Amino acid sequence: MTPSQPGNPRVRLGDLGVPSGMFARGTLNAITDVPGIRIGHASLHDDGLNTGVTAIVPDALDGRRRSLPAGLSVGNGYGKLVGATQLQELGALETPILLTSTLSVFRVADAFLGHLLATPAHAETTTLNPVVGETNDGFLSDIRRRAVGAAQVDHALRSAATGPVAEGCVGAGAGTVALGYKGGIGTASRVLHVGGTRRTVGAIVQTNFSGTLRIAGVPLPAEELLAQDPAAPVGNSCMIVVATDAAVDGRQLGRVANRAVFAMRGVGADYAQGSGDYAIAFSVHDPADGGPVAEEALSPLFAATMDAVEEALVNSVLTAQTTEGPEGRIAHAIPIDVVRTRLAAAGVI
């Protein structure tokens, strides 16, 4: 069992006793199990707003290394992922990754660029590719106000830390909806061997998509589990970020990112036409220390990625709390007692 996150009275998948599959969960069962990964959130929960920003910060971008190998998968391109083309073309991540609300993505990108250019590492920089992803939190937040800006970006980046990761209704997940329930931020990790070396893969997700939730193959339709009408997401999208310390290059990480998008189907995503489904995968491994591994060594990394992403998606729903937005719109938390009963009846726990 992995620890529930601080300040959240709800449970994670591991707390329910659902097995991890063929690979063990990491110590924290979070993307921060990958060495040098820090996560920060800034949330706005007042005056008709449930929105924010989440920062994924790899310390390997330390000035000595100006980029990390990375890959991008576009499951469906109905989105506003800033920095996507250079990420895909070069197979390189030059900055931390920020996640936010759809209409705030451009303000966030500008504030993010200003933050980076003010750092000593970029004192002489004249070109830089900040990466900012988004989903639409307009069901639970006054999205047209574009309320996320420099103050929130600065807070998320400066507060980014290792250790347990806050999940559910925080940061970029403050106002999102998934599979009929309140969605949000979720994370998970797996420990495996790649090419004979012990490695970790971790995922963090921002869920805002439709479909019928499945946990370990057990259907959990919001229409049945909720006494109220299910919530319908606006924008219908998902952002997935995968980090690993495996010795893989940008092309191989593109293959890893593809598997991350595949994992959405495991939790019941319907991949609706208006869904912006993206996965970014990067490695903190220093190529100077060897690699990349042979293609034949990648299958465990693919499988572990799908398991970690699927669990992160589920955790985003399990940890989220009922949230009210403008005009009385409500996204209800999934009832944990009913989930536990159904999983037990199916022999999963």
Q: Which residue in the block uniquely carries the two structure tokens 């009210």? A: 324
- What tokens does 175 get? 């106002």
Q: Residues for the chain: how many in total?
A: 349
- What contacts 214, CB < 8 A, 6 or more positions away? 220, 266, 267, 268
Q: Which of 277, 283, 307, 316 is catalytic?
A: 277
Q: Are 161 and 38 in contact (CB under 8 A)?
A: yes
- What tokens does 59 get? 């310390």
Least Cα distance to 134 among 101, 183, 108 occurs for 101
Is 43 one of the catalytic residues? no
Straight-line distance from the first to the last Cα atom of the chain, in angstroms, rounded to the nearest whole number:
13
Q: Mutual orientation of helices 150-159 and 105-117 as an angle, nearest 10°?
A: 60
Nearest-angstrom CA–CA distance, 190 and 192 = 7
Is 275 one of the catalytic residues? yes
At position 230, the amino acid (one-letter code) is P
Grouping H, G, I as helix, E, B as strand and the rest as coil, residue 341 is helix
Element (H, E) at 159: helix 150-159
Q: Which of 4, 73, 237, 283 is catalytic?
A: 237
At position 28, the amino acid (one-letter code) is L
Q: Which of 275, 283, 307, 316 is catalytic?
A: 275
Is 316 one of the catalytic residues? no
Residues annotated as part of the active site: 237, 275, 277
